Structure 1
Amino acid sequence: MSVEIKEVKSKKELKQFVKFNIELYKDCPYHVPGIIEEEMVTLSRDKNPAFELCETIYFLALRDNRIVGRIAGIINRKSNEIWKQNHARFGFVDFIDDKEVVDALFAAVENWAKSKGMNAVHGPMGFTDLDQEGMLVEGFDQLATMATIYNYPYYPVHLERLGYVKDQDWHEFKIYIPEKTPEKHERIAEIVKAKHGLKVMKFTRTKDIMPYVQQIFDTLNKAYTPLYGFVPLTQKQIDYYVKMYIPMLRLDLVTLIIREADDAVIGFGITLPSLSEAMKKAKGSLFPFGFIHLLKALKTKPKVVDLYLIGVLPEYQNKGVNALIFNDLIPIYRSLGVEYGESNPELETNSAVQAQWDYFKREHHKTRRAFIKELK
């Protein structure tokens, strides 16, 4: 049967778009489903403030009235302006292992991109750097994290067949928690605090961290600006993410580095208990019982933590602030019985970030890739 490409226009079709990923991977032990309600918000033009900067289109591939693939086309106008390029992105892409389906999906996005005057398509990427990005090319037998994409091994094979090539890779590591904090970390931490007038700040109540939340995102914007595809978050986007993520924080696993002279946030480490198994049990829905699995995972002693976000102001990078963060967190991990942390994606070219793991036993267990194709 031939493949029909259908543009998503209704809320019902958007829900089908979101649920296809869950249905395609329902028997895969490594896939971690998202939450349908949250993804609907992310993809909704009237709810996600990223649409102030982005133009998008969603396609479903159908065969005999059955959904067999999906893809989003995204143009981030601010990204193109910052990076001085004329690129469209593809993202939220899934498909069965079928040449005709894949060809039809990518032809739809490429033709749309050309109609908008774009000269290349790259991805998978989302609206912002906090969306999932990067197609898995190594580590197909590893459990995904909440923050990352899982895809079958045939995905990159099809992209290469279509003429997509590597644009950027991210590496992911298992960072094994040491029996004690490395002595060098302890020594550097004390030197850094004294030299730069810094202190470690912890919180026990959400309302106490709220006065620092804006500064955390301001620091994130400044720290991540040089990274591939990054676009600084607008104030509306910051407000959106505060509402979405702050209630999820496990405060004992959050560390802020504060400059004592003016109470400014110059660095932060935000880690979470791994929610991968809980999200698998939730099967894409918070209700009626999905939220119970997530709450339990957030409150119990985790064997695995996700190193979700770490950021340091540019003027303090490579000065030992990361050692100060982990000097605080390692004893907490040990007291909880954490075995290892998932680094989540780190650009392979970001040697400074990867060097912070030199004093730990680590395992490079996943690689993911942004592909690109020039349009003719």
Structure 2
Amino acid sequence: MRHRHMAVEIRQITEKSDMRKFVKFNLRLYRGNPYHVPGLVEDELLTLDPARNPAFKFCEAAYFLAYKDGRIVGRIAGIINHRANETWNQNNARFGFVDFINDNEVVDALFSAVIDWAKKRGKEMLQGPMGFTDLDHAGMLIEGFDQLGTMATIYNYAYYPKQMERMGFIKDQDWQEYKIFVPDEMPEKHRRIAEIVRKKYGLKTLKFRSQQEILPYAHRIFDTLNQAYSVLYGVSELSREQIDYYVRMYIPMLRYDYVTVIVREEDDKVVGFGITLPNLSRALQKAKGRLFPFGWAHLLRALKMKNPVVDLYLIGVIPEYQNKGVNALLFDDLIPIFHKNGIRYAESNPELETNAAVQMQWNYFERKHHKTRRAWIKEI
């Protein structure tokens, strides 16, 4: 399907060869940018494929490329997450996987294509950038363009938010990101809280040395994530098929000493977890979107060797145990491990500005707010 918008041509993707062009446009647009962290092409193709991503059991999507003078100059995905709409009592479409040159005509054409697609499906609002689920990239960078991105986030040029404002999009939600500096020793207050909480609630900390050891807990970790994240912006509960999908995707790439699981001793229930990873930003830049022939070596080296930066990838505590000090158990375990491995600071990755509980947990650490990202919304 093709749409003409003045000198810009919009093509809806129907062929696999075009899908690869869709994914690779991001790599071309940011080639040489020192702050952009490219994803892996094959991983993004997997995410966008209805035959392989179980999110399509309750999502639908369309993908569009913008051409000008015979060259690709932009891309955008339209997404409808029916489960999220039911959960939040909304009638929204999402846009995501969006990139474009700084050209009003190109931007207008891309967003017009998604808006037309969404209106034909009876949607009332367009919000984004968001993916299919909460584990996909979300939020457009609005501050921190001179900061290195992370594996879990989107990097974009400073003209992106200006284009969103020009088109009449307004703020829907903001996330903040912090550098959290590892203290010389565990804060005494956290140490005391950890000991009190451990005894009061009968909790214990689990550590793992292999994939075989962590696999019996993998699905329970994601069940805990479902409960912990259920009230957060835009979240829809992960299905059993999605959890299987993420277990297969993420468990093999973990560094097990950086994983902490808190269980209740009486029944082995997972009440909290922390999944951290050595920062892979520089390794992904070297890989340039390709796992083979040499990308895997850069990633493996970054996972195994000492790295002064760690990413706080996923942290969750079930509602029953939130605000009871369970996070102190995570810090009590991880801070000595970070010391041993020469970690100077952690990247928090995006935290909702309205999530006071998450913000408060950093009060006893030196931190620096260095990035902000935004989800936009507009009536269509």
Residues of 2 paired with 1:351 and 1:235: CA distance? Answer: 30
2:236 equivalent among 220, 231, 234: 231
1:4 positional shift: 0.2
Superposed, 1:1-376 pairs within 5 Å as 2-375=7-380
Encode CA deviations 1:250-309: one digit per residue, 9 max, x unaligned: 000000001000011100000000000000000000010000000000001111000000
Residues of 2 paired with 1:301 and 1:369: CA distance? Answer: 33
Encode CA deviations 1:23-69: one digit per residue, 9 max, x unaligned: 00011100000000110010011010111110100000001220000
Aligned Cα root-mean-square deviation (Å) = 0.6
Residues of 2 paired with 1:368 and 1:323: CA distance? Answer: 27
Give unmatched runs, 5+ long, in structure 1.
Answer: none
Instruction: Quote the sequence identity (%).
Output: 66
Residues of 1 paired with 2:50 and 2:67: CA distance? Answer: 24
Residues of 1 paired with 2:374 and 2:146: CA distance? Answer: 17
Q: How many residues align?
A: 375
Residues of 1 paired with 2:188 and 2:166: CA distance? Answer: 50
Give unmatched runs, 5+ long, in structure 2.
Answer: 1-5
Q: What TM-score comes out, normalization by structure 1 length?
A: 0.99
Residues of 2 paired with 1:75 and 1:37: CA distance? Answer: 23
1:205 positional shift: 1.2
One-letter amino acid of the counterpart of residue 63, structure 1: K
- SS of the equivalent of 2:237 reads coil
Residues of 2 paired with 1:9 and 1:244: CA distance? Answer: 26
Encode CA deviations 1:155-207: one digit per residue, 9 max, x unaligned: 00001100000000000000000000000000000000000000011011110
- SS of the equivalent of 1:272 reads strand
- SS of the equivalent of 2:339 reads helix
Residues of 1 paired with 2:52 and 2:210: CA distance? Answer: 28
Q: What TM-score comes out, normalization by structure 2 length?
A: 0.98
Residues of 2 paired with 1:22 and 1:354: CA distance? Answer: 33
Residues of 1 paired with 2:139 and 2:359: CA distance? Answer: 18
- SS of the equivalent of 2:275 reads strand
